[in-house]
Amino acid sequence: MSTVKPNGRLLRKRFSSKFQRGLSLLGRPRELAGYIVGPKVLMVSIPKAGTHLLLRALDLFPQLRAGSGLVFIPEEERIRRISMMKPGQIVRMHAPRSPILDNLIERNDIRVFYIVRDPRDVCVSYMYYCLNEPKHNKHDYFSSLLNNEERLLVTITGFTGEHKGQKIWIGPIDHYYRHFYSWSLHPSCCTIRFEELVGPNGGGDQKQQLATIQRLADHINFQLSAREINQIANNLYTPESPTFRRGQIGSWRDEMTNSQIKKVKEIAGQLLIDLGYETHLDW
């Protein structure tokens, strides 16, 4: 019976890569400690709600490193990868809370962050992302619509139908928020607002940004100096993200028509109040 021998060159390459990485960490004790005893961090977000902003903030922590994203993969594979998380690793996903996830989080001592953003800005960001990203599965559909007024209305009201033989489903403005809301009630979850983290470059407040970075650190029991917090803040806002467009608070005000605003109030007026983005419907 013959056996397949492992590729010696490949094994040496893998060993060399790990060895070099280990050597590079020897001079950075906090990063090395992250590989050994760092927390396992699960990042949950609604699409276009600030996923990469939060990921970059956490990745700038010396003890953490970005891992793979669990976005468009089957649930079984998502569960498998979460169960295999390593110390100091950040894993991001767009998925509602479930008993299986709750069990995994508790059993593996995973810390969770959930980022939310004004649903109106999410609609605008999602529209432009679908329109400007040729590889997106809804790009052709959005491109086929007459103008941005039609496209933005679809992100507010949702759409179910077909386009060129492809089934298209887009949830209404409140869909993801209602499905993801229970994350904010999870005992191991810290809820972060995009508007509090983005800082002055995105139309936010610097003091609020620094305080939010401190909240991130507190949730995973990290000690960061004021200098380190400022360094993270100064390097946080970057147009280099593949999904970056403007990253500004309140972009919806420049995009939505009065009739679209009326639709938002009908569909998600109470949601905006529940999330704290409005206190009434007279806006």
Of 54-68, 246-260, 269-283, the range with the highest mean pLDDT is: 269-283
Q: Is the pLDDT of residue 243 over 90?
A: no
State the pLDDT at residue 75. 85
Q: Is the pLDDT of residue 104 over 60?
A: yes
Q: Strand 40-45 to strand 189-193: parallel, antiparallel, or no bridges (unpaired)?
A: unpaired
Q: Is the pLDDT of residue 21 over 90?
A: no
Structure tokens at 161: 């139908």
Which pLDDT band, with edges at 50, 70 and 90, does 11 fall under? very low
Task: Please give the C-alpha separations between residue 58 and each of 67, 94, 214, 250, 276, in angstroms, as whole numbers.
Answer: 11, 17, 11, 24, 25
State the pLDDT at residue 3. 47
Which pLDDT band, with edges at 50, 70 and 90, does 22 fall under? very low
Q: In sequence order, which ranges of 60-136 are alpha helices (DSSP H)?
A: 75-83, 99-107, 119-132
Q: Is the pLDDT of residue 36 over 80?
A: no
Q: Report the pLDDT averaged over residues 236-244.
A: 63
More confident residue, 30 or 214: 214
> Residue 56 is inside which H or E element, if any?
helix 51-59
Domains by residue range for the chain, with CATH: 29-119+176-234 (3.40.50.300), 121-174+248-275 (no CATH)
Q: Is the pLDDT of residue 17 over 50?
A: no
Instruction: Report the share of the chain in percent with pLDDT over 70.
Output: 83
**What's the mean per-residue pLDDT of the chain?**
87
Task: Please give the C-alpha separations between residue 281 and each of 124, 178, 254, 268, 269, in angstroms, as whole numbers.
Answer: 20, 19, 19, 10, 6
Q: Report the pLDDT averaged over residues 173-181.
A: 92
Of 159-163, 208-212, 236-240, the one with minimum mean pLDDT is 236-240
State the pLDDT at residue 9. 57
Q: Is the pLDDT of residue 166 over 70?
A: yes
Contact by Cβ (8 Å): 104, 93: no
Helices (H) and strands (E) in the chain, counts: 14, 7
pLDDT tens readout for residues 52-99: 999 999 999 988 988 777 777 788 888 999 999 999 999 999 999 999
